[in-house]
Structure 1
Amino acid sequence: MSTSLYYDASRATALTSTETAAVERIVTAHQSNFPYQDEESLFLYEEGGSEPDAIVAGSTKMPFDPDRVMPVLEQVLGSVTELRRALPDAEWRVHLDDFDLPWNENEGYFLPS
């Protein structure tokens, strides 16, 4: 059984061109710096997902190798944190399957211990 990280942002207004450029920059930086080429990485859906007001949505399947789960999760959560900071007026939801991950203004998204 696999676990996936899901992330989405919604609001009534579409992304501006400046916001779209910021999202693209974050995704490109993440993909070029992601150290595990054989694992899933940050992945945004086309069209922002299935929710009507979704502006950004995606998911990442976590690795089966237990030694890789935390490093991959930290990398992806770091990028999702950057996305949230680039789109602060959106309503965000980030969760591992059914477990919602908390947001901290100083540290971003994290997995509670």
Structure 2
Amino acid sequence: MSVSIYYSAKRNSPITTAENVSLLAIADMFNQGFPYKNEGETLSFYRKPSEEYILEGATKLPYCDETIIVESVIYWLKALTHLTSALPTAVWEVQIDDCPASWVDDHWEM
């Protein structure tokens, strides 16, 4: 059994080159710092998002034990908060499998 975080952003204008550089830098920083990268996946974006989205991606969480899962969720929600801040005019959706995360006081939480 696997659990994944899914994330997407949509808006009327495409991602600019500067935004893309920023998004990739944020993803790289968090991917490099993820303590469980040998047990789970890191942030990744789909090459071609669905028609209505400018960005989509998914990250499979490590399925070792409950503590690692919880720590991973907290870590990736922090990363997604940074990504959301890099595209502040986009409408974001973040969910763990079919359970949506909430945007509360400038950050994602479950």
Task: Give the TM-score of the pair, scaled to structure 1.
Answer: 0.88
User: How far apart, CA to CA, are the structure 2 residues paired with 1:53 and 1:16?
Assistant: 16
Contact 2:31 2:37 in 1 (8 A): no
Q: Decide which moves more: 34-43 or 22-31.
A: 34-43
Q: What is the aligned partner in structure 2 of residue 17 from structure 1?
A: 17
The root-mean-square deviation of aligned C-alpha atoms, in Å, is 1.2
Q: What is the aligned partner in structure 2 of residue 7 from structure 1?
A: 7
Q: What is the aligned partner in structure 1 of residue 58 from structure 2?
A: 59
User: How far apart, CA to CA, are the structure 2 residues paired with 1:74 and 1:91?
Assistant: 21
Contact 1:41 1:72 in 2 (8 A): no
User: How far apart, CA to CA, are the structure 2 residues paired with 1:7 and 1:37?
Assistant: 19
Equivalent residues in 2 for 1:1-113 (5 A)?
A: 1-38=1-38, 39-47=40-48, 49-50=49-50, 52-65=51-64, 66-106=66-106, 108-111=107-110
Question: What SS is found at the alignment partner of 2:6?
Answer: strand
Aligned residues: 108
* Identical columns (%): 31
Task: Report the CA distance between 1:60 and its aligned residue.
Answer: 1.1
Q: Structure 1 stretches of 5 or more lacking a match? A: none
Contact 1:8 1:58 in 2 (8 A): yes
User: How far apart, CA to CA, are the structure 1 residues paired with 2:33 and 2:102?
Assistant: 24
Q: After TM superposition, what 4+ stretches of structure 1 lie above 2 angstroms from structure 2?
A: none
Task: Report the CA distance between 1:67 and its aligned residue.
Answer: 2.4
Contact 1:11 1:54 in 2 (8 A): yes
User: How far apart, CA to CA, are the structure 2 residues paired with 1:100 and 1:42?
Assistant: 18
User: How far apart, CA to CA, are the structure 2 residues paired with 1:36 and 1:28?
Assistant: 15
Contact 1:34 1:41 in 2 (8 A): yes
